[in-house]
A and B are shown apart, each in its own frame.
Chain A
């Protein structure tokens, strides 16, 4: 009974993180289908799945947050965790936004750039997977947070490199300027996933450092 409240909070956070990972996984599948089949009905279904996952993760986040207002956490830790969850939530939001951007704007990625786009998506989804692991460590073993935070930073840098290379390739090639600008926007939007993951990892770094040594 003494540990019941604690386990409830840990379970709620774990379920939230799992749901956000489902969202990013659906996003990864959707982009995979898009690069293979284009704007197919299957892609449309997967975009909808991203949306549903994002909505479910919001619901689980609110559940976890409402549990924080019990007395399991002291106010300084409660503030840290609430801020962290709000920051994590920005990542599936962005994934949903990108999926809809492709679907609603009927975006077409030329074949010559598809492999690079796939690499960009993979790097950004990987950064979020690492982030979920780091956040989970806060509730399992805080000593493991900082090493994972460093890996997230590396993934974000990798994403930045791919973005710059891709944008350069697109603007060096002949073609319509407007199309190039749309593709650039899409690249930056995908890259924002790892940017947001890195922002969350910066918060985690500060929380980890606050534990006295």
Chain B
């Protein structure tokens, strides 16, 4: 049972990074207080993981067979990949690190089956994430702008509404994050039948560990990522977060964990497309491509070597 701590560590690392994707812009631009953001994020992450997290858990556990030991190795390899790339200020997706680690472990064990068809579905969803979020933002921007205009609000009312809407969008984003990412944390342990295969318990542990990362160590990332991202006005930030949340939530329904970082980039890109201005440069797009290729490769290499040499 101690092996679950590998997953909890991974969840904590995920939480420290991904909180910025839902509340980063709002906190960095001082629209929402940091304390308010992290408390709300923690609550809704846990809610999302319990209500919506089981689909992703089943998908990841179905990629290849796991034992408790191999599940621990996968979780630690993914966590180390995430932490070392974060330390090197390189883009990283926890979902892709976990999937890469799972495949690497599967390939290291002779006679082990890898569900390539399922992997293909997962990779297709990764590609679809920034594209889907961009499309969602492109469609959402004029609709929300029209709604806001129809309300005929003065500047003070508009200000209050935007603040409230950003909080709601952030909560929804946190819920989607929990529903999407609980699988990254405990999906492999479901496959290893930890806790008797109690999927809701595993989803709760996944959500709680992500929430712990948000509550304890997300401030720096939230402030730097939130301000390093393209400076957006409050309305555009709302559209980007909403687009990201909807996209990630859709994939939670489909049952495939995806990258929330790439979803928010897609959302910002979609806004730029609508406004006819380039908000994302080729360097950022390269970073997404890098994430697709390097992250799972690195994590997979790690688990393959450990699996081959030690298990």
A72 engages B30 (CB within 8 Å): no
State the main secondary structure of chain B at its contact with A. helix
> Among A76, A139, A141, which residue has its beta carbon within 8 angstroms of that of B233?
A76
CB contact between A73 and one of B29, B155, B233, B235 (< 8 Å): that residue: B155
| A9, B157: Cα distance in complex, Å | 11
Partner of B152, one of A76, A81, A141, A212: A141
Chain B CB count within 10 A is highest, among A6, A76, A207, for: A76
A10 within 8 Å of B by Cβ? yes
With A73-B156, A75-B29, A138-B154 given, can you name 5 additional A-B contacts, CB distance below 8 Å? A74-B234, A207-B155, A211-B149, A212-B235, A213-B149
Interface size class of B (residues with CB under 8 A): 20 to 34
Question: Contact between A73 and B148 (Cβ–Cβ < 8 Å)?
Answer: no
Q: Contact residues of B with A, CB < 8 Å?
A: 29-31, 141, 144-145, 148-149, 152-160, 162-163, 233-235
- B residues less than 8 Å from A75 (CB atoms): 29-31
Cα distance, A72 to B149, chains bound together (Å): 20
Q: What is the CB-to-nearest-CB distance from A21 to chain B, in angstroms, rounded to a whole number?
A: 20
User: Do the beta carbons of B159 and A73 come within 8 Å of each other?
Assistant: yes
State A211–B154 Cα separation when bound (angstroms): 10
Separation of A78 and B234 alpha carbons in the complex (Å): 12
Q: Which 3 A-B pairs have the closest CB atoms?
A: A212-B145, A77-B159, A73-B159
Q: Nearest CB to that of A139 among chain B residues? A: B154
Out of B30, B156, B235, which one reaches A6, CB within 8 Å? B156
Q: Are A9 and B156 touching (Cβ within 8 A)?
A: yes
B160 engages A212 (CB within 8 Å): no
A73 — which chain B residues lie within 8 A by C-beta?
A: 155-156, 159
**Inside 8 A of B162's CB, which chain A residues have their CB?**
74
Task: Say how far B212's CB is from chain A's closest CB, in angstroms.
Answer: 28
Q: Which residues of A contact B163 (CB under 8 A)?
A: 71, 74
Q: Which of A178-213 contact B (CB under 8 A)?
A: 207, 210-213
Is B159 a contact of A140 with CB atoms below 8 Å? no
A38 at the interface (CB under 8 A from B): no
Q: In the docked arrangement, what's the CA distance between A69 and B219, Å? A: 23
B-chain residues with CB within 8 Å of residue A133 when the two chains form the complex: none
